[in-house]
């Protein structure tokens, strides 16, 4: 057997071997090195969540014995204790009563403002409005932080309603930027056809434009919901009344009372993180495509 024949046989053998592997993994294009690296990387994301859940389910003695192991007996009572201590349902209600109206009113109003500006950019006033709102993105919040607290308590708005207003107003800058980019890509002929049919601006917006905004509304809705639900700084400075506190703020306020009991604290963290996690598990495809779309159009 010549050496060439040997090589030929060997490559043939290699090919057969890899063919069976291909059959095993079905898709010959799959990049397994990358897949495995990404799977290892995802452990870095999942590990803190695993740790949180197991600590929340242990007793202090179990925790002292072993930090990492899965709990032998599950201490569900940590959750009920944490719920009682932090008035969980009250803060859950507060968070919802701020986040849900914020999302709906933001979608209804910010899209209208963006539409008005997008279709009147030839007019000086609307061009001014556009740059005025966009420029505000560069003003850091701390410059407003101290005066807004005085203003809100002076107006009697140091409550849920006040926070909702602030989220809707402060979202305007970025939302207008994203909406206008999207509205400009819509053909103007649709509106011209509606005008010929005798529709006024109001009807054009609700019957023609708003339905077309569905994908970008999803994006704005998701980003607004994440922000209004998870925000800590605005509730911290605006809300004084304990009864009105939101989920993240409650964790901050009760931190000192958790200081010795980590199991209780972690049960409380899980309870505060759970609503968003559950929504995410059911809607993750939708959420991810929504965020990606916003970045391309914006």
Q: Rounded to whole angstroms, how far apart are CA atoms 225 and 99?
A: 6
Token couple for 272: 């505060």
Q: Which of 21, 37, 74, 190 binds another protein (CB under 8 A)?
A: 37
Residues 173-202 that bind another protein (CB under 8 A): none
Binders of another protein: how many residues, by CB under 8 A?
Answer: 80
Q: Which of 18, 35, 203, 240 binds another protein (CB under 8 A)?
A: 35
Residues 249-288 that bind another protein (CB under 8 A): 251-252, 255, 262, 265-266, 269, 272-273, 276-277, 279-280, 284-285, 287-288
Residues 42-101 that bind another protein (CB under 8 A): 42, 44-46, 48-49, 51-52, 55, 67
Q: Which of 2, 259, 260, 295 binds another protein (CB under 8 A)?
A: 295
Q: Rounded to whole angstroms, how far apart are CA atoms 83 and 222?
A: 27
Residue whose structure tokens are 């969980």: 88
Identify the three-state secondary structure at position 253. Answer: helix
Q: Which of 79, 88, 133, 179 binds another protein (CB under 8 A)?
A: 133
Stretch of 70-78, 84-92, 141-149, 182-190 contacting another protein, by CB under 8 A: 141-149
CA dihedral 49, 52, 57, 62 (to 10 degrees): 120
Nearer to another protein, 11 or 30 (CB): 30
Backbone torsions φ then ψ of 245, nearest 5 degrees: -70, 145
Query: Does the footprint of another protein cover residue 126 (CB under 8 A)?
Result: yes
Nearer to another protein, 8 or 146 (CB): 146
In DSSP notation, 164-202 reads: HHHHHHHHHHHHHHHHHHHHTTS-THHHHHHHHTT--HH
């Amino acid at each position: 057997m010549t050496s060439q024949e040997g090589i030929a046989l060997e490559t043939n053998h290699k090919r057969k071997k890899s063919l069976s592997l291909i059959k095993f993994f079905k898709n010959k294009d799959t990049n397994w090195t990358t897949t495995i690296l990404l799977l290892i990387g995802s452990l870095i994301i999942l590990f803190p969540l695993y740790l949180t859940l197991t600590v929340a389910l242990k007793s202090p003695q179990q925790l002292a014995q072993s930090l990492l192991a899965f709990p032998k007996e599950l201490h569900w009572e940590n959750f009920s204790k944490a719920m009682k201590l932090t008035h969980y349902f009250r803060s859950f209600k507060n968070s919802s009563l701020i986040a849900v109206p914020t999302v709906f009113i933001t979608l209804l109003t910010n899209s209208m403002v963006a539409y008005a500006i997008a279709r009147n950019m030839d007019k000086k006033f609307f061009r001014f409005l556009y740059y005025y709102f966009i420029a505000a993105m560069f003003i850091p919040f701390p410059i407003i932080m101290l005066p807004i607290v005085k203003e809100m308590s002076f107006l009697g708005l140091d409550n849920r309603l006040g926070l909702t207003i602030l989220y809707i107003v402060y979202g305007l800058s970025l939302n207008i930027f994203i909406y206008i980019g999207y509205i400009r890509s819509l053909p103007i002929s649709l509106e011209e056809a509606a005008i010929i049919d005798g529709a006024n601006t109001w009807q054009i917006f609700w019957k023609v434009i708003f339905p077309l905004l569905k994908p970008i509304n999803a994006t704005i809705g998701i980003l607004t919901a994440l922000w209004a639900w998870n925000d800590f700084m605005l509730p911290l400075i605006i809300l004084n009344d304990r009864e009105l506190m939101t989920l993240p703020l409650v964790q901050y306020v009760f931190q000192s009372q958790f200081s010795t009991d980590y199991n209780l604290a972690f049960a409380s963290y899980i309870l505060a993180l759970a609503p968003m996690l559950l929504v995410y598990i059911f809607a993750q495809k939708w959420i991810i495509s929504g965020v990606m779309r916003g970045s391309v159009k914006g």
